[in-house]
Amino acid sequence: MLHLPEPIGAVFVTLIGLVVGSFLNVCIYRLPHGLSVVHPGSRCPSCKTPIRWYRNIPVLSWLVLRGRCSACRAGISVRYPIVETLTAALTLWIWLRYGLSAEFAVAVPFAWAMIVLFFTDLDTQLLPDVVTLAGVAAGFASAWFNPFLGEPGIHRIWMALSGCALGGGLLWTVGALYSRLRGVEAMGFGDVKMMAFIGAVAGPQGVLFAIFGGSVAGAAAGWALIPLRGRSMQSTLPFGCFLAPAGLAALLYARQVIGWYLGLLVPGG
């Protein structure tokens, strides 16, 4: 019995995750400003010296250079290796859960998009259209092959459409009500488009799971941060930062959790 292929696959997937994570760093810093993610190549954020490929190896280069630019010695944020490690870890996790499958092909790019949206929202309170709207389009284009949308066939197309409409519609309604009641702009349309994206990939069940999970996490974090920020509930945390992990959890676990919950309601069912 030769058990080699399994660890080799895991190592390969982790390396891919690290390289993609390095690209996601570029996306996170450039997309909110409408800049190209391919040109120019990687540069030191401080002195703009182009970074040579052998000094641009994910995580390792940052460790070897001790988080400093090799030209000007300016500090380079620990965020770079964190995003690379997170991307590799999530990619490996999905690989270990599903292996080479349609689930993997859908969940991995979705997870990468959620990482980008989490950090752009954290940094700039922006959720770039090139991620959210492209995500909606990709969700529809892949719906036929997307096992997270249920049984094969036309049913999946319907699930993608209804998930997209429910996700976008619910968030738009909540936002409109909130700004009417409080007289403040509750959320930008970025959140609406992000939720439409999550719905197009994870379906209506995923939408309910993600909104519920994101709201609970957001409320908990809001209360936890009150001592730090003062009692100003106006200084809301960017909701996309909660929707991103909730959206990924919804894609991977919603059907399982809802099935388990229905099982509790209907014993033996």
**Least distance from Zn ion to the Cβ atom of residue 69, Å:** 3
The CA distance from 87 to 244, in Å, is: 13
Which of 14, 49 has the CB closer to Zn ion?
A: 49
**Least distance from Zn ion to the Cβ atom of residue 223, Å:** 41
Which of 72, 262 has the CB closer to Zn ion?
A: 72
Token couple for 43: 């540069």
Helix (H) or strand (E) holding 83, with range, is helix 79-98
Do 21 and 85 contact (CB within 8 A), yes or no?
yes
**Least distance from Zn ion to the Cβ atom of residue 68, Å:** 8
Do 135 and 190 contact (CB within 8 A), yes or no?
no
DSSP β-bridge partners for residue 68: 75
The CA distance from 131 to 110, in Å, is: 10
Binding interface with Zn ion (CB under 5 A): 44, 46-47, 69, 71-72, 74
Which of 44, 210 has the CB closer to Zn ion?
A: 44
The CA distance from 263 to 269, in Å, is: 6
Which of 63, 184 has the CB closer to Zn ion?
A: 63
**Least distance from Zn ion to the Cβ atom of residue 51, Å:** 9
